[in-house]
Chain A
Amino acid sequence: MTETTIRTAASNRALLSRLRAWYNADTSNPVKRVQFDRPLTPWVFLLPQLAVIVIFFYWPSVQAVTSSFYIEDPFGFGSTFVGTENYTDAVTSSQYASTAVFTVFFCAMVTALSLGIGLLLAVKADKVIRGASSYKTVLISVYAIAPPVAGLVGMMLFDMHIGPLTDLAAFFGHDLRVGIDYGDTAFALVVISVWKQIPYNFIFFLSGLQSVPTSVREAALIDAQSGLRRFWDVTLPLLAPTAFFLLVINITYAMFDTFPIIDVVVKDKPANNPITLVYKVYLDGFKGNDIGGSSAQSVILMVAVAALTVMQFRFLERRVHYG
C-alpha cells in the first residue's frame, strides 16, 4: 500500500519535472527565443482564439458535413445514412435553382450598388471643406443600426398601408406590394440591404481617399484638366486595395449578413417571396425540420464561398496595386 503510494508519488514527481523541463526549455530558434522564452507561451496566447475558431467554426462545419449524409428523424429519434442523396435532392430541385439565381442577382445588385453609392458619397464628402465632420457623421450614423432594425425600418417605409415609399410608387402609378409581389419584395430587399451597407463602404472609401497623398493629387491637377480623368487614372487605382477589400466584405455581407433583413421582410408573408440560399438553409432546417437537406445546402454554400474567395484573390488581387 505505502509502496504503491510512494511509487505513484514518485512517478507523478517525474512527470511534473518533465513537464516543467518542457515548459522551461529554450526554443532552438534564436529568433523565436527573442520573443518567447518558453515554447508553451505562444500557445497560451493562441488558446482563446483557437478555442473560438474550433468551437464556433470547425466543430459546426464537421457537424454540418456529417449530417449532410444522413436523413434525420424530425423529432431527433434517429438518423439514416443516405450518402449523397441530400445533395442530389437539393441541386435538382427547381426551387433551389430559382433561389440560387435570386441569390446571385441579389449579391450582384447589393454589392455593386452599395460600393458604387458608397464611393460616390465618399468622393463628394471628401471635397466638402466646411461642415465636413457633420456630413460624415450623418452619413456614417446609419452604420450603427442593427440589421433587424434596418429591416424593420425598411418594412415600415415599404408597408402596403402606411409606407411612404408605397405612396411614392403609387404617385408614379406603380402598385408596390412588398411581401406579396416577387419583384416588389426583391426590390425592397435590395434597397434595404444597400441602405444598410453604404455607411460601411463610405467609411472605408473616405479613409482610402484621404490616404491618397495631397501632392500626388496636385501633380494630377497639373497633368490632367478633367476631374473625371484624374479620378479614373489616379485616384481610383490608388483606392484599389480598399475597393478589393470592400468587394470581398460586401459579397459576404450580401450572402450572409442580410439574413435578418430578409427574415423581417418575408417572415409571415404569403409564399413565393424571394429569399437567398442562406435563408433557405434556415427555412429548410429549422422550419422544415430537414436537418440533412439543409446541412447539404450549407455545405454547398461553404464550398461556393470558398471557391469565390480563392477566385477573387487569384484574379483580382493581381491587378490591385498596394502602395
Chain B
Amino acid sequence: MAHLSLRNVGKTYAGGTQAAVSGIDIEIADGEFIVLVGPSGCGKSTLLRMVAGLETTTEGEIHIGERLVNKLDPAERDIAMVFQNYALYPHMTVRDNMAYGLKNRGESKTTIAERVAEASRMLELGPYLDRKPRALSGGQRQRVAMGRAIVRQPAAFLFDEPLSNLDAKLRVSMRMEIRKLQKRLGTTSLYVTHDQLEAMTLADRLVVLNEGRVEQIGAPLEIYRKPASTFVASFIGAPAMSLLDARISDGAISLEGHALARVGNASGPVTLGLRAEDLRIAPQGIPLAVEHVEELGAQRIVHGTIGAQNIAVIEVGEAAIQDNVHVAVDPDKLHLFDTSTGRRLEVQSQPHQEMAL
C-alpha cells in the first residue's frame, strides 16, 4: 500500500505531433479510490497504462510509494492490473491464474496457497479453483481477474474498464463489490471508465479528462455541483446538464428575452447551465415547447425547447403534460460558464433583489 503521484506526466507517441496525454498532476493518497473518467480517446487508458508500465512515459515523473518508476518494468512496479477483457491465461486453471504472479516473485508454496485460499473465499471462487477460464461465465472470469490482483497484495490496483464487458445488472452488483473490497483491503486504486455513473458511485475523487488534459479533479458531488467547465458539466450527470446561450445585461440573466435572475457578473453573452432536476414545471415562468417525454417510472424527463435551444426538465408529478408549459428555476442553482473558454464563472449573487419567477 502506498501513495501514488503523477507529476507533470505526458506522453507523445513516436511520430505523433500532438501529445496523447499532457501535464497530468495528481497526488493520490494511500488507500484512495481514484476514477479517471472521460469520453473515448481522452487519454485515460493511456495514462493508466503509463502507470502500469505498459506504455512509456515521455514526460514527467510517476512515483509509486517513494519510488520513481518511469524506467521500471511492469513486473517491478508493485502494481496489479484488472483488464477489460479479463486477460486470464486460458491454459491455466483459476488457481494457477491467481498463483502465477506470486510464483514468479519467489513466494513460498504455503504463502501462495494461503493467499489464493483467502482471495477465493473473499470472491466466492472456491468451487471453480480447478476450472479453466473458458468454463466460467463473464462475471466469474471478472472475479478471477480481481483475485489475481488481490493475491499479489500490491501497492496499487489498476482497473482498465473492468466492467464494460458485463451485462447491465451484473455491472451494478460488481461495481458495489469492487467498492466494498477496495474499502476492506484499503489498497490505493486507479480506475478507468467512460461510464459517468460508475465513476460517480465508485470514486473517492474523480479525475475528468478531456483530450489528454485534466478538466477537473474533485469528489464526485463537488464535481456534480460545481463543474469546472462546460465539458465536465455536460459529461457528468444524466440527463446531461442543459447548456444554453444567455446574456447578462443590467445585472440580470436573460434567456431568449426572459429575465431569469439578478446577478452581479459583468454584462455580455454567457453560457447558462441548468440541471434537469433543478428545473420544475410551474404555472408561470419561461415558456417551454414540449417535444417528447421519457417515462422512467419514478420520474419523467421532459425534453423541449426554449426559443430554439434544447432543454431537459425532470418532472415527478403524474399529470398529463401539455404541449406548451412554463418552467421555473431556483436562482441559486444556476451555473454560468464563459462562452468563449467554457470555464466556470462564479455567480455573483444579489440576494436583496431576487426576482420572482
Contacts and interface: CB of A to CB of B under 8 A. Distances in A.
8 contacts: A215-B87, A221-B53, A221-B54, A221-B74, A223-B75, A226-B104, A238-B90, A238-B91
B75 A221 contact: yes
Contact of B91 (A215, A218, A221, A321): A321
Interface stretch (A61-69, A173-181, A229-237): A229-237
B91 A223 contact: no
B75 A219 contact: no
Interface stretch (B78-86, B195-203, B230-238, B284-292): B78-86
B115 to A, nearest CB: 14
B100 A224 contact: yes
B101 interface: yes
B107 interface: no
Most buried by B among A219, A233, A240: A219
A128 interface: no
Chain B interface SS verdict (over half): loop
Interface in A258-278: none
Instruction: Kindly list the 5 A-B residue pairs having the minimum CB-CB distance in the complex, ordered from nearest.
Output: A215-B87, A225-B75, A223-B101, A219-B87, A321-B91
Interface in B43-90: 52-54, 73-76, 79-81, 83-90
Contacts of A233: 100
Interface of A: 213, 215-216, 218-226, 229, 233-234, 237-238, 240, 321, 323
Contact of A216 (B79, B90, B101, B134): B90
Interface residues of B, number: 24
B100 A321 contact: no
A309 B130 CA distance: 31
Interface in B77-136: 79-81, 83-91, 100-101, 104, 134
A213 B89 contact: no
Nearest to A219: B87
Contacts of B81: 218-219, 222
Given A218-B83, A219-B83, A224 B104 contact: yes
Nearest to A323: B90
Contacts of A238: 90-91
Given A218-B74, A226-B104, 15 more contacts: A213-B85, A215-B87, A216-B87, A216-B90, A219-B83, A219-B87, A221-B73, A221-B75, A222-B74, A222-B75, A222-B79, A224-B75, A224-B104, A238-B90, A323-B90
Nearest to A223: B101
Nearest to B80: A222
A222 B151 CA distance: 13
A215 B90 CA distance: 12
A219 B53 CA distance: 11
B111 to A, nearest CB: 16
Contacts of B80: 222
Contacts of A220: 89
Nearest to B73: A225
A2 B151 CA distance: 97
Interface string B302-332: 0000000000000000000000000000000
Contact of B52 (A216, A222, A226, A229): A222
Contacts of B148: 219, 223
Contacts of B79: 222
A321 B90 CA distance: 8
Given A222-B52, A223-B100, A216 B75 contact: no
A237 B101 contact: no
Contacts of B85: 213, 215
Contacts of A219: 81, 83, 87-89, 148
Contacts of A218: 52, 54, 74, 81, 83, 87
Nearest to A236: B91
A323 B76 CA distance: 29
B76 A216 contact: no
Contacts of B88: 216, 219
Contact of A224 (B52, B54, B90, B101): B101
A9 to B, nearest CB: 65
A223 B102 CA distance: 8
A222 B149 CA distance: 10
A221 B74 CA distance: 6
A73 B50 CA distance: 79
Contacts of A240: 91
Most buried by A among B73, B85, B90: B90
A229 B104 contact: yes
A70 B52 CA distance: 74
A216 B92 CA distance: 12
Contact of A225 (B52, B83, B104, B134): B104
B166 to A, nearest CB: 16
